[in-house]
Amino acid sequence: MTSAIVSVSKESRLFDPPAEFSVRAKIGSREVYEGMYRRSIEDPDGFWGEVAAELYWFDPPKTVRQWDPPKARWFEGGTTNLAYNCLDRHVTAGAGEKRALVFEGEPGDIRTFTYAELLRETCRTANALRRLGVSAGDRVVIYMGMVPEAAIAMLACARIGAIHSVIFGGFAADAVRDRVNDAGAKLIITQDGAWRRGKVVPLKEQVDRALTSCPSVEHTIVLRRTHNEIVMQPGRDHEWSVVVDRASDQCDAVPVTSEHPLFILYTSGTTGKPKGVLHTTGGYMVGTYVTTKYVFDLRDDDIYWCTADVGWVTGHSYIVYGPLANRATALMYEGAPNYPEPDRFWDVIARHKVTVFYTAPTAIRAFIRWGDAHPRRHDMSSLRLLGSVGEPINPEAWMWYRDVIGGGRCPIVDTWWQTETGAIMMAPLPGAIATKPGSCTLPFFGVVPKIVRHDGSDAEPNEGGYLVIEQPWPSMLRTVWGDDERFRQTYFSRFPGRYFTGDGARRDNDGYFWVMGRVDDVVNVAGHRLGTAEIESVLVAHPNVAEAAVVGRPDELKGQALVAFVTLKADVNATDELREQLADHVAAEIGKFARPDAIRFADALPKTRSGKIMRRLLGELASGQAPKGDTTTLEDISVLAALRDDDE
């Protein structure tokens, strides 16, 4: 397929940064942004060297970047420790009494950790790991829910140079086993269970099942959270309350080289086998630190809340490492957004006086579906900045987020990035860049994104194409764990010498980027290559629609025909008339060629654990095939079964 990806979006609203926001912002104008951006590209060594110098190094780096595509090395000669930078650095500077983490459990329990307390707990955990035979370079799997001990476990690994691999707590035994074995983990940190909608997710039970075929694992550490009954295997399984709580709270941070591996995080590939994305210490530290600083424009008194799970990269970079490196106060919430009621998030924001709130479009669309009454009941005037991540955000959801959650006064930072990029790559700096609903706007410092055609040549403005990154950046992945060849193949072979993101996008006349979703999700209808996200966005703009996923199915005449899976808002009836209306609506908004051939109503759409719609599965369903390939990342397998039953 060589034709360009057609972009059909007509969004043209523009929102300037509020003046009162800009005056207090770290970067308060487009000019300042542009000056810094230019410097970061023209003099990357100078720019990144200065950012790195804001952090602590036991030995300062001798060089800034070395680029031998696809291999990058940053801050060579430097030794540092990320846990030291997140904890000791602030305690030493006299901020030990500042709140680092505020935790709210789903049952309503609240626990607060100052920087000094978080440091002591991290030291205890690090000592426990050492006692159980873990040393620098060993892999430790963290399979937990959203509890402070998950962050503490990550920091403890970083402190002694062990490589952590967090596995999302929603995965079951088989997925745990595959990841543990791929990483060759020596130890697993887990919990008896995690709270989710008032029920116990039995984590330890899954670990027990996985461990029947994980020869590398010698020990587990088990935190008691839900107090469900579990089996402890003597000699192998250890109580957190014993091995951690009784350990010394003194443990020096180990200086590691800049390129020392920090963590592996598994992401689903297009083939069955998950990829272990490897991040290393210095570059990841600098990247998450500086993006958090400028994109969230953190102030000393902010209460910052990112709703992601620590089991995915947003939790790593923007709950734990980025905020703590910036000496922020981060809120962590354990449970579901609709427990006990659909207003839980707004209740949390009001009670904790959250100032910066970072969540995902899939959550925003659920909130819209649940109704405005829930947020309207709460005083959310503490909020000053909103963020979005994970998927393209459709303009309707963006406007709702701005008006109903942000009270029309908070800038929205739509942040585009990936597990592989480690840190935010494109986003508006909130005091400097005017926003457009649905656009992640402009690149962050040091990032050189390009839209290219099939043959690698530059696309014109507004011409849809493939999103690539031209220069290395500090927090880029270094390899796929144990598989350099897959790393090169996946990211650097499609456009040699450039990093291929796998996303389709366009750049508008103002230079703003609009990400249209994965190129695997592009559909070719009668020679028009359409990004499905844009058609979905039009569907969701219809007052009766809560969520939509558009996929292609083979069609003799048109090559592919469009099939739309649609979730309706509460109280709306699924009728044939509505089906016609929706198809007409798409035809009217985009053009007749984009009129879906079929619209299928669904109670829910299949999503990954992090909330992304799994269009691949829907495409297989729409083509009349049984879903094949990896379904282990599916959040709720019954959703798929329900859709299939519908077929009959």
User: Which residue, 96 or 437, is less far from ligand 7RM as judged by CB?
Assistant: 437
Contact between 114 and ligand 7RM by CB under 6 A: the answer reads no
Three-state secondary structure readout of 211-230 = HHHCCCCCEEEEECCCCCCC
Q: Which of 113, 346, 400, 417 binds ligand 7RM (CB under 6 A)?
A: 417
Nearer Cβ to ligand 7RM (142/207) = 142
Categorise residue 98: left if φ over 0, alpha if ψ from -120 to 50, beta otherwise: beta
Q: Does the footprint of ligand 7RM cover residue 389 (CB under 6 A)? A: yes
Q: Is 503 in the site for ligand 7RM (CB under 6 A)?
A: yes
What distances in angstroms separate CA 619 from CA 390, 504, 640, one per listed residue? 20, 18, 12
Secondary structure letter of residue 481 according to DSSP: T
Within 349-460, strands assigned E span: 356-359, 385-388, 412-414, 449-452
What SS3 class is residue 167?
Answer: coil
Find the binding residues for ligand 7RM in span 610-629 (CB under 6 A).
Answer: 610
Helical H runs in 371-422? 373-376, 395-400
Is residue 501 a contact residue for ligand 7RM (CB under 6 A)? yes
Q: Which of 87, 147, 262, 313 binds ligand 7RM (CB under 6 A)?
A: 313
Q: Which stretch binds ligand 7RM (CB under 6 A): 66-74, 160-168, 385-393, 456-464?
A: 385-393
Asked if 435 is part of the footprint of ligand 7RM (rule: CB under 6 A), the reply reads no
Q: Count of alpha carbons within 13 Å of 97, Cβ hemisphere only? A: 1
- One-letter amino acid at 511 equals G
Binding mask 254-273 for ligand 7RM (x = CB under 6 A): -------------x------
| Exposed / middle / buried, residue 636 (Cβ in 10 Å: 0-12, 13-18, 19+) | middle
Rounded to whole angstroms, the Cα distance separating 285 from 420 reads 14
CB 148 within 8 A of CB 131: no
Look up residue 252 and give its amino acid: D
Which range touches ligand 7RM (CB under 6 A), out of 295-303, 499-507, 574-582, 615-623?
499-507
Closest distance of CB 313 from ligand 7RM, Å: 5
291 in contact with ligand 7RM (CB under 6 A): no
Stretch that binds ligand 7RM, among 2-10, 106-114, 334-342, 414-422 (CB under 6 A): 414-422
**Nearest-approach distance from CB 388 to ligand 7RM, in angstroms:** 6
Q: Which value, in Å, is the radius of gyration of the alpha carbons in the chain?
A: 24
Query: According to the binding rule CB under 6 A, does residue 517 interact with ligand 7RM?
Result: yes
Residue from 415, 435, 441, 567 that binds ligand 7RM (CB under 6 A)? 415
- What are the backbone angles phi and psi of residue 611, rounded to the nearest 5°? 95, 5
End-to-end CA separation in angstroms for the chain: 33
Among 148, 322, 390, 552, binds ligand 7RM (CB under 6 A): 390
Q: Which is nearer to ligand 7RM, 251 or 389 (CB)?
A: 389
- Report how many residues bind ligand 7RM under the rule CB under 6 A: 22
Nearer Cβ to ligand 7RM, position 6 or 217? 6
Question: DSSP 3-state assignment of 151?
Answer: helix
CB closer to ligand 7RM out of 283 and 342: 283
Q: How many whole angstroms separate alpha carbon 84 and alpha carbon 12? A: 45
What does the alpha-carbon distance between residue 469 and residue 261 come to, in Å, rounded to a whole number?
23
Question: Given candidates 182, 414, 547, 620, which one binds ligand 7RM under the rule CB under 6 A?
Answer: 414
Q: Which stretch binds ligand 7RM (CB under 6 A): 139-147, 211-219, 389-397, 443-451?
A: 389-397
CA distance 610 to 524: 27
Q: Which stretch binds ligand 7RM (CB under 6 A): 83-91, 205-213, 312-320, 547-555?
A: 312-320
Mind spelling out the 3-state secondary structure of 498-546? CEEEEEEEEECCCCCEEEEEEHHHEEEECCEEEEHHHHHHHHHCCCCEE
Regarding 9 and contact with ligand 7RM (CB under 6 A), the answer is: no
Nearer to ligand 7RM, 195 or 500 (CB): 500
Tell me whether strands 219-223 and 237-239 are parallel, antiparallel or unpaired. Answer: parallel
Residues 163-202, interacting with ligand 7RM (CB under 6 A): none
Q: How far is CA 195 from the centre of its chain?
A: 21
Q: Which is nearer to ligand 7RM, 206 or 394 (CB)?
A: 394
The rounded distance, in Å, linking the Cα atoms of 390 and 406 is 19
When CB distances to ligand 7RM are compared, the closest residue is 419
Which residues bind to ligand 7RM, rule: CB under 6 A? 267, 312-314, 389-392, 414-419, 440, 501-503, 515, 517-518, 610
